[in-house]
Amino acid sequence: MIAALTQLLVFQLIGEVIARGLNLPVPGPVIGMLLLFLALALRGGPAPELQSTSQGLLQHLSLLFVPAGTGIIVHMHRVADEWVPLLASLLISTVVTLAVTALIMRLLARRTPAEGQS
Amino acid sequence: MTPQISELWVYLSASPLLGLTLTLLAYQGAWWLHQKSGFSPLANPVLIAVSVLVTLLLLTGTSYQTYFDGAQFVHFLLGPATVALAVPLYTQFRRVRAMLIPVIGGLVIGSITAAVSAVLVARLFGASLATQLSLAPKSVTTPIAMGVAERIGGIPSLTAVLVITTGILGAVGGRYVFNALRIHDPAIRGFATGVTAHGIGTARAFQESEQVGAFAALAMGMNGLMTALLLPLLLPWLL
């Protein structure tokens, strides 16, 4: 687990250095993710240790959002002042994005010759 | 409070132990409730844990900064978790190749729809510019969204809250939207959930099935990248 965690942190660090060094608009961990993806493609897959550590981290992904979510406490004033546009925007945009993404995918899936589908 | 208890409180509230332990306890309790409800999407664990923590902080008059001194250890793991997304991305890559055109179409259209609809609706209802900008990256996972918000002039910590609210709404609402539209393909259900509702939607999607979850994880990773690249270019047209 420690080796895999170290590996993830090293990729994050490299990503961070590249993002800051080249002044890219993409956050460091995303560059790290891309680099790890490339490394896995070159290597032909993750080592079992990396596989299980990643699985463990991603299984409890919900937990990792809790500290940032609690930050709503700092923005109580803004939320109280602007709750109508915020609520409208989040509700409408979420439903519209779910629907539009699913519908466009269904449309494109029908136009592509079905592979491995009945 | 008696002097002894208040001394203990002064000690505990200044150490990171309390914030960290409370975060884990609140999450464990929320997870227990979520399980008890038969994994109902309405009993979302993030929503429950955050509600409990906000109530506790308000009741005890503890500042968010004090709480975060402890909770930051959990928050920090978002970075390595983002890197770790490369693993499911890689293992699902073959399945994705068969769906390549729908996946790319869904990614590009979904990514643009998420940002544009959020900004336009907020403006229509009279939101301030800073709020509009903070809303734009609301559909991508927290570490990416906060980074993007900082770049485009939004408020990163507000974005974090909006991202999490979006995730909860998408996790709760996905099933109803897809059923109403008669969308049954697990790949499409998963991918649309991941594009809209990032990690919280993905956590939910894994409960539906392994395949739904894998496509959600893929969509979350790809949309994070897409939005980070696209939004700074798209924004001048939008404002």
pLDDT digits (tens, 9 = 90+) for B43-61: 888 889 999 999 999 999 9
Whole-angstrom distance, CA of residue A51 vs CA of residue B85: 10
Sequence ranges of the domains in chain B: 3-76, 83-238
Continuous segment of H or E residues that includes residue B178: helix B156-180
Contacts of A94 (CB under 8 A, 6+ apart): B166, B169, B170, B173, B196, B197
Q: Which residues of chain B have pLDDT under 70?
A: 1-3
What residue type is assigned to position A98 of the chain?
L
B35 Cβ contact list (under 8 Å, min separation 6) = none
What ipTM was assigned to the predicted interfaces of this complex?
A: 0.86
Q: Is A22 within 8 Å of chain B by CB?
A: no
Please name the amino acid found at residue B38. G
User: Among candidates B136, B177, B152, B158, which has minimal Cα distance to A89?
Assistant: B136
- In this structure, what are the phi and psi dihedrals at residue B181, rounded to the nearest 5 degrees? -90, 0
What digits encode the pLDDT tens for the residues B66-91? 999 999 999 999 889 989 988 887 88
Helices B100-124 and A83-111: crossing angle in degrees, nearest 10, is: 160
As given in the structure block, the two tokens for residue B209 are: 């099935």
- What residues of chain B lie within 8 A of the CB of A49, using their CB? none
Q: Which of B35, B73, B75, B82 to mutate to test the interface with A (most CBs of A within 10 A)?
A: B82
Q: Are A31 and A24 in contact (CB under 8 A)?
A: yes
> Which pLDDT belongs to residue B41?
76
- Residue type (1 letter), A75: H
Query: CA A16, CA A30: separation in Å to the nearest integer?
Result: 9
pLDDT attached to residue A114: 52
CB B105 within 8 A of CB B192: no
Token code pair at residue A109: 């899936």
Q: Which residues contact B25 (CB under 8 A, 6 or more apart)?
A: none
Distance CA B43, CA B25 (A): 17
Those of residues 25-54 in A touching chain B at CB distance below 8 A are 25-30, 32-34, 36-37, 40-41, 45-46, 50-51, 53-54
Classified as helix, coil or strand, A9 is helix
Residue with tokens 């995303």: A30
Interface contact A85-B122, CB threshold 8 A: yes
Question: CA-to-CA distance for B80 and B143, rounded, in angstroms?
Answer: 10
Residues in chain B closer than 8 A to A8 (CB atoms) = 80, 83-84
Q: Which residues in chain B touch residue A56, judged by CB atoms under 8 angstroms apart?
A: none
Within chain A, which residues score under 50 in pLDDT?
Answer: 115-118
Question: What confidence score (pLDDT) does residue A113 get?
Answer: 57
- Chain B neighbors of A89, CB-CB under 8 A: 117-119, 121-122, 125, 127, 135
